[in-house]
Every structure is written in structure tokens, then in C-alpha cells.
């Protein structure tokens, strides 16, 4: 099913398939096993213009928007969820600049990101600030025409690999979330270093690392928007990026279903292919149906963002919740269909099951997302 994708979106899909078949499939198990960042693949992605799709044309991009990003992320995720998130995290990191950055900031940073010359990361989470993003402790104190940053960010995707970081820090701790501000910090700035690289359950090709700021001085012009707008920048960023996580989940699930379909057509028990058993057929049918539903919701959310809609956080959260729950179920069932082989590392579905789990957790846990959805629904119902 091509979802009536236009020529540009089909072109993106074809490029991702070519990258996946030729370059990701041969190395994904090794990257997973060795916890190794896919630098080569990022170079190929850059060369194929996939970093341009979420950057407007006036800043060196192709300006294709959220739907294009969803299609690319989904297709890459079909091959490797870890590589796909390393790609998509660039869009997440660039989002604060895209949404709220000044003209100077856009001109300076976006072309470097569009070309893939530099990678990007978004830094909000801290040891004590996960779902409660208002609990951020990292401080930014104004000192003349500089800000001085102190604190630690945790679990930052592309940490240590990216050159440009968008960081949320408190400029006015007394105002809590309203005292947060967003900053651009470049790799190599004195006082900015990296902590330990995490050893994760899944998406192991992606780099997840601590960022440490110790009297890190950055120019005042690196403030995104205004002081006190940091929390808003962060929330808008995540609302925009959630369809990306949903797309990642759809892709992982599709990859697992593809493997299950292939295996069940080859594996024989009791003298027949196991896909001739109705019990297994019903599993395949449910997996396929859930994936199509998740994909439709994901594309709806991405399309809504591209349409310029103001209120999309509900649908964006719904897509993320639904698609990630589908990914967990489908990958678990794929392991079940492959049976003992599915549990072994020689087959890719156990990796897919591990990769799927994070989609229920990051960019807002599914429990937080359900709160977001419910609050939005209740607000809508009572506005009338």
C-alpha cells in the first residue's frame, strides 16, 4: 500500500530502501552487538539529502516537512531502529531553532544541519527531570554578553556524536518551568564535556550519553527566543517530533512483520508451512491490521502538522502512544512466530523487540501521553 504518497515521498522511500538494503542490513547486527554509532550511514544519509527534508529551502533544505520526515524515519526503522533514531534525533535537535530561533541562528546553523556536515541533538532530560520536565536543575546565569551553564543532562540521543546541541536550562530557578530557557551549545565549547555512554537494551546503534556543563560560557546570542520561553520551546519541539517516534515504531513493527511473514512461509512443521495454521494466520492478520492503523494515525498527525494546524498535540500524542504499543505487541508476536529461532540473535526479531520497547518510553512515556490526550479531550469538550 503506497498511501497515495506523492512522487517526492516515494523518492524518499526509495532512497531509504536502497540505504537499508545495501548499507544497513549487512551491519545492523554488528552495530547492535558492539553498541557502535553508525557514522558511515550518517554520511550516506547526508549525501542522499535526507537531512534536508525538515529544513526549509531558504536554509539549504528541501522543506518537505513532517510527513516526509515520518516516511524517512519509518522506512529506515524497518531496517534498524537505532540508526533511524540517530537520524531522526537530528530533526528533534534542530526543532527549537526551526520553531523559535532567530533569523541569525537559522542562517548560521540550519544549512550545516541540512548538509549533514554537522549533527544535532536535543537536551532536556536530567537525572531528576524526566516526565516532570519542570524539574530541570541545569542553570544558565547571565554574565555580560555570555551565559554560564552548569549542570548535567542525561540520556541524550546523539550525545558525543553531534556538534550542535539545543539545551534547556534554568535562567530563573524561582519561577520553575517558567524560568527555563533554551540555548544552542556547540561541541568543543570550553566547560562542555561528555559523560558515560549508556549501555542500552535496544536501539544500541544510537549514542545515548551524558552532557556535562561546568562553567561553560556561551555567547548570549545563543539564547533561543527569550528568557523564560525554554519550557515552551521544549514542549513545542516534542509535540512536533512525536510523529517521528510514531513513525519509528511503525517501521520497527513493519520490519518484524516482514520477518514473520518470510519465516512462516519457509518453516515447516507437521509436514506443512506454519503459515497454513489458522492460529498463526490470525496473529499475522492482527499484526498487519494494527500496523496499518498505526501508520494511518501517524500520517494523520504528520499531515496535520504540515497543514499548519495549531492544535495537534492530542493527535501527535495519540500517534506516539498507539504506534509504540503496536510496535511492542507486533515485535513480541514476531518473536513468538519465529519460536526458538526468534529468541536467538541469529535472527533479527529479538533486536526489533528490544528496539521497540524504548518507543513506549522516550519523548514522553505512554502514561504521560495518555494524560496529555485526556486533558486535551476534556478541554475540547468543555470549550464549547
Active site residues: 363
Of 2, 4, 7, 104, the one binding another protein (CB under 8 A) is 7
> CB-wise, 23 or 36, nearer to another protein?
23
CA distances from 50 to 61, 72, 84, 161, 362 (A): 9, 8, 11, 18, 23
Q: C-alpha angle 284/286/288, rounded to 5°? A: 70
> CB-wise, 17 or 296, nearer to another protein?
17
Site for another protein contains 185 (CB under 8 A): no
> CB-wise, 23 or 329, nearer to another protein?
23
Minimum distance from CB of 21 to another protein (Å)?
10
Minimum distance from CB of 115 to another protein (Å)?
11
Q: Are strands 208-219 and 272-273 parallel, antiparallel or unpaired?
A: unpaired
For CA atoms 188, 189, 191, 197, the dihedral sign is negative
Interface with another protein in residues 200-219 (CB under 8 A):
none
Identify whether the C-beta of residue 209 lies closer than 8 Å to the C-beta of residue 156: yes
Interface with another protein in residues 121-180 (CB under 8 A):
none
Total residues at interface with another protein (CB under 8 A): 18
CA dihedral 233, 237, 238, 239 (to 10 degrees): 100
Interface with another protein in residues 15-74 (CB under 8 A):
15, 18-19, 22-23, 44, 47-50, 52-53, 62
> CB-wise, 53 or 338, nearer to another protein?
53
Q: What span, in angstroms and rounded, lies between the C-alpha atoms of 73 and 68?
A: 9
Closest CA to 203 of 135, 234, 157, 246: 157
C-alpha cell at 253: 513493527
Minimum distance from CB of 70 to another protein (Å)?
15
Minimum distance from CB of 11 to another protein (Å)?
4
DSSP result, 200-254: -SS-TTS-EEEEEEEEEEEEGGGEESSTT-HHHHHHHHHHHHHHHHHHHHHHHHH
Minimum distance from CB of 221 to another protein (Å)?
31
Of 11, 29, 284, 361, the one binding another protein (CB under 8 A) is 11
Closest CA to 328 of 296, 369, 359: 359
Minimum distance from CB of 169 to another protein (Å)?
35
> CB-wise, 47 or 307, nearer to another protein?
47
Of 3, 5, 8, 306, the one binding another protein (CB under 8 A) is 8
> CB-wise, 53 or 256, nearer to another protein?
53
C-alpha cell at 291: 500496523
Residues 6+ apart with CB under 8 A from 269: none
C-alpha cell at 327: 510496535
- List residues binding another protein (CB under 8 A): 7-8, 11-12, 14-15, 18-19, 22-23, 44, 47-50, 52-53, 62
Amino acid at each position: 500500500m503506497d498511501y497515495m504518497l506523492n512522487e517526492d515521498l516515494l523518492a524518499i522511500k526509495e532512497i531509504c530502501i536502497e540505504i537499508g538494503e545495501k548499507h544497513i542490513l549487512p551491519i545492523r547486527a554488528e552495530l547492535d552487538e558492539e553498541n557502535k554509532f553508525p557514522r558511515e550511514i550518517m554520511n550516506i544519509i547526508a549525501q542522499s539529502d535526507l537531512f534536508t527534508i525538515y529544513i526549509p529551502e531558504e536554509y539549504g533544505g528541501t522543506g518537505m516537512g513532517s510527513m516526509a520526515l515520518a516516511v524517512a524515519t519509518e522506512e529506515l526503522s524497518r531496517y534498524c531502529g537505532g540508526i533511524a533514531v540517530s537520524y531522526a534525533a537530528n530533526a528533534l535537535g534542530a526543532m527549537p531553532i526551526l520553531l523559535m530561533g532567530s533569523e541569525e541562528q537559522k542562517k548560521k546553523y540550519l544549512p550545516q544541519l541540512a548538509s549533514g556536515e554537522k549533527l544535532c541533538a536535543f537536551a532536556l532530560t536530567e537525572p531528576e527531570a524526566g516526565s516532570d520536565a519542570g524539574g530541570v536543575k541545569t542553570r544558565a546565569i547571565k554574565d555580560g554578553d555570555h551565559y554560564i551553564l552548569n549542570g548535567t543532562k542525561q540520556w541524550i540521543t546523539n550525545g558525543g556524536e553531534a556538534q550542535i546541541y539545543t539545551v534547556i536550562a534554568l535562567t530563573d530557578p524561582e519561577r520553575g518551568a517558567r524560568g527555563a530557557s533554551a540555548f544552542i551549545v556547540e561541541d568543543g565549547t570550553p566547560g562542555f564535556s561528555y559523560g558515560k555512554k549508556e549501555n542500552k537494551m535496544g536501539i544500541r546503534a544510537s549514542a545515548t550519553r551524558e552532557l556535562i556543563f561546568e562553567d561553560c560560557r556561551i555567547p548570549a546570542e545563543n539564547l533561543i527566543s527569550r528568557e523564560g520561553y525554554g519550557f515552551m520551546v521544549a514542549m513545542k519541539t516534542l509535540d512536533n517530533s512525536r510523529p517521528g517516534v510514531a513513525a519509528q515504531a511503525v517501521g520497527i513493527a513493519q520490519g518484524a512483520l516482514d520477518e514473520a511473514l518470510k519465516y512462516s512461509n519457509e518453516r515447516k512443521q507437521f509436514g506443512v508451512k506454519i503459515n497454513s495454521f489458522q492460529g498463526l494466520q490470525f496473529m499475522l492478520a492482527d499484526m498487519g491490521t494494527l500496523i496499518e492503523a498505526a501508520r494511518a494515525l501517524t500520517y494523520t498527525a504528520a499531515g496535520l502538522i504540515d497543514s499548519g494546524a495549531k492544535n495537534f498535540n492530542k493527535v501527535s500524542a495519540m500517534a506516539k502512544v498507539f504506534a509504540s504499543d503496536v510496535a511492542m505487541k507486533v515485535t513480541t508476536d514476531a518473536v513468538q512466530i519465529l519460536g526458538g529461532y526468534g529468541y536467538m540473535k541469529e535472527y533479527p526479531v529479538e533486536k526489533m523487540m528490544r528496539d521497540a520497547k524504548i518507543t513506549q518510553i522516550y519523548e514522553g512515556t505512554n502514561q504521560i501521553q495518555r494524560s496529555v490526550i485526556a486533558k486535551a479531550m476534556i478541554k475540547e469538550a468543555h470549550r464549547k
